[in-house]
Amino acid sequence: MKRWLVVCVAAMMVTACGDDSVGSNDTDAGFDIGEESPDAGDTGSSDEDTGSDEDTGSNDEDTGANDQDTGSSDEDAGNDGDTGSESDTGADNDAGMDEDAGTDPDPAPACEPTFGPDDACEGDVEGTWEFGNACTDFDFAELLATVCDGSSVESLDVNTDGTLVVTADNFARAITIEAEALVYIPADCQAIGFLGCEGFGDIAGSADPSVEVSCITNATAGRCECDVAGTYEEESAGAYTNEGGVVTVGEEVYDVCVTGDSMSARRRSDDEQRPSFVEIYTR
């Protein structure tokens, strides 16, 4: 679902992808990437022993030859007594790098894009679920090519939060999806027309208050480069029925399968132009 949200925003700029009849799909997918900032861990630098306690024996040297001999012994003892290199366990005790999982976050749960009616199965759907991943076998490249050949989504970044709570007869869901994308559109695309890249971006951005579009001209490459950002929030709740993994919510039908603490769900759709997504939840 996350990729479609961005691509749909991009396609909205050159087609009717963002109208109400298709935009309703935004509410069909809830998932949570939940990126966390990595923890650099404890470097252990504060534990380092600089050996500043070393006995130089300088005071003993002022007392004469005998004292100098003693001072020499003191100097030796100073070196022997300095266990800085041995007692400094900063590097050994610093388990920050080993224990810090922030630098290696858990990957998103696996998602099978072809999940469908044949994969629905019995399972306990009750509980509190976190949105973990989403995927689809819908061909977005083909969608963009039909409206403006050569258009592409060069990069995207999606942050999502969401929770799905399911009881015996009802559900409640609240999700927030923030998407950013860099979209390339050929400057000679008919949709650009006389507006130019900057003007096209202004018009496209005014089509939806939840979407911001800013375009610049790359004359060398012959294209418009557009930054697209959108925020989507949705809350829904109500009754549902579940018969053998076929879940009905109002007029929508989902194929669902629960395996352990992971649930796959996909809304059925007969419209080839309306993407349908496999949604992955974990608990």
Q: What predicted TM-score, i.e. pTM, was given to this entire model?
A: 0.56
Locate 2 and state its tokens. 């996350």
Domain boundaries, the chain: 2-36+112-282
Q: Give the Cβ contact number of residue 19 at 10 Å.
A: 12
Total residues found in the chain within this entry = 283
pLDDT of residue 118 exceeding 50: yes
Residue with the larger pLDDT of the pair 210 and 127: 127
pLDDT of residue 59: 44
Average pLDDT for 174-192? 84
Gyration radius from the chain CA atoms = 31
pLDDT of residue 247 exceeding 90: yes
Locate 157 and state its tokens. 């970044």
pLDDT of residue 86 exceeding 90: no
Instruction: Please provide residue 51's backbone torsions phi and psi, each rounded to the nearest 5 degrees.
Output: 75, 20
Q: State how far Cα 67 lies from the chain centre.
A: 70
pLDDT of residue 220 exceeding 90: yes
Is the C-alpha dihedral spanning 184, 190, 195, 199 positive or negative?
Answer: negative
pLDDT of residue 70: 45
Cα separation, 227 vs 113, in Å, equals 27
pLDDT of residue 165: 97
One-letter identity of residue 185: I
Helix runs in 127-267, H state only: 140-147, 196-205
Residue with the larger pLDDT of the pair 5 and 136: 136
